[in-house]
Amino acid sequence: CCVVLLLLFAVQLQAIEIKLSDSDSTLDVRSVRVKGADFLALEDVRLKLPVSVKDDTAAGLVVLCSERNTIPVFRMDEQEFVQKDRTDYIKAELVAEAMGCTIGREKKTLLFTPSSGSLSRSVVGSNEGDIAPGFRLLKSDSTILSSHDLLKSGPLVVVFFRSAEWDPASKRQLSQLETKLDSIRAIGASLVAIHGYRLKESRKWERELKLHFPLLPDQSAAVMRAFNAFDRGNLPNPAVIVIAPSGKILLRDVHTDYTQFTDPGMILEVLSRIR
């Protein structure tokens, strides 16, 4: 099992040597230790680890994303984010969570251990051809759904919609997708739809529209930001992302006109090309 070893050299300001157990190379990451917790320099995380960083300064939010998970970090939360000597530091446990790892300590060493499989060195992106950001979001039955787990069984279609309460275009899109659900599943693909409201709304909209695919709440809009589908507030631009089992984005169709949405026929055509 692949393990990331973080070797700590000092008590406060320190350089952390990171070693992937299946590699002979090492790299240094600046760090600080605050109130017994380890924080990693955000810029070093961005440049040296398989983690992408989306920084929304206006919202006071940093989003960490890897192919395993997407994590929102609020700059004002001193337990998650600190600044020293004009350098931004982010809590090590959050980096581990984004990488899909558990974290432990052995003396002056932090251990990042992937929960399953091995760690990827791919830095995710949001364009066609990139490795897609991962996410773990709540289903209406309060269980966690993982994109990483879904991709083990086939392609994944991710839909971002604005609201099934007040937006007619979203209602039409979700209803059309329901009519194509059997065809999508026959290809071996999964379908999820993401919105910026509460779990309560997921349950209500699934029931009212008689949907048989999950609606997943992303209230911080972290996943929207990871896929560059974020508009404003807690709203995405209408978007469809088709992801191959390898994690590669095959289709990214985003509409800045929120009255428009992707034709389900386009989704089926892209899925039919996957071998």
42-79 pLDDT tens trace: 999 999 888 999 999 999 999 999 999 999 999 999 99
Looking at every residue in the chain, the average pLDDT score rounds to: 89
**Residue 87 exposed, middle or buried by CB count within 10 Å (0-12, 13-18, 19+):** middle
pLDDT at 102: 82
Question: In this structure, how many other beta carbons lie within 10 angstroms of the beta carbon of residue 217?
Answer: 21
When computed from its CA atoms, the radius of gyration of the chain, rounded to whole angstroms, is 20
Give how far the C-alpha of residue 73 lies from the chain's centroid of Cα atoms, to the nearest Å.
Answer: 12
CB contact burial 55-85 (16+ within 10 A = b; e otherwise):
eeeebebbbbbbbbbbbbbebeeeebbbeee
Res. 254: pLDDT tops 50? yes
For 153, how many CA atoms within 13 A lie in the half-sphere containing its CB?
Answer: 12
Round to whole Å and give the CA distance between 115 and 129: 26
State whether the Cα torsion 15-16-19-20 is positive or negative: negative
Task: Tell me the pLDDT tens digit for each residue of 126-136.
Answer: 999 999 999 99
% of the chain at pLDDT higher than 70: 89
Closest CA to 99 of 44, 42, 52, 33: 52
Query: By the 8 A CB rule, do 67 and 132 touch?
Result: yes
User: pLDDT band at residue 3, thresholds of 50, 70 and 90?
Assistant: very low
User: CA of 33: how far to CAs of 5, 10, 88, 139, in Å?
Assistant: 17, 9, 13, 36
Task: Tell me the pLDDT tens digit for each residue of 177-208.
Answer: 999 999 999 999 999 999 999 999 999 999 99
Query: By the 8 A CB rule, do 115 and 65 touch?
Result: no
pLDDT at 23: 53
Reduced to 3 states (helix: H, G, I; strand: E, B; else coil), residue 42 is: helix
Q: pTM, whole model, 2 decimals? A: 0.90
Mean pLDDT of the region 211-235: 97
Res. 163: pLDDT tops 60? yes
Round to whole Å and give the CA distance between 247 and 170: 26
Return the amino acid letter for 75: R
Task: Tell me the pLDDT tens digit for each residue of 104-125.
Answer: 777 666 777 788 777 777 779 9
Query: By the 8 A CB rule, do 119 and 87 touch?
Result: no
User: pLDDT band at residue 231, thresholds of 50, 70 and 90?
Assistant: very high
State whether the Cα torsion 129-233-218-158 is positive or negative: negative
Annotate 60-95 with DSSP letters as a single string.
TEEEEE-SS-EEEEETT-TTTEEEETTEEEEEHHHH
Mean pLDDT of the region 9-18: 50
Mean pLDDT of the region 227-246: 97
